[in-house]
Amino acid sequence: MGSSLLIAFALMLIIEGILPFIAPAAWRETFLRLASMGDGQIRFIGLTSMLVGVILLFIFL
């Protein structure tokens, strides 16, 4: 289980790094827009992201 968690973490870091590597200007603009959003909007984005992840886990496991 520990190695699976480390593999998942490594894949997350790879996926998270793709956009800043390929298009740093677009990543910066997106980050600035995100920073100007309210807490409720950011929480909604986080909740939606977690729910999509849970649904994908149930589908593929």
Where does residue 26 fall: left (phi above 0), alpha (psi -120 to 50 degrees), or beta otherwise? alpha
Q: What's the DSSP call for residue 56?
A: H
Dump pLDDT digits (tens) for 28-55.
Answer: 999 899 999 999 999 999 999 999 999 9
d(CA 24, CA 44): 25
For residue 42, give the amino acid letter.
I
pTM reported for the whole predicted model: 0.70
CA distances from 52 to 26, 35, 36 (A): 24, 22, 24
Q: What is the pLDDT of residue 61?
A: 82
Tell me how many degrees the CA angle 38-47-12 measures, rounded to the nearest 5.
105
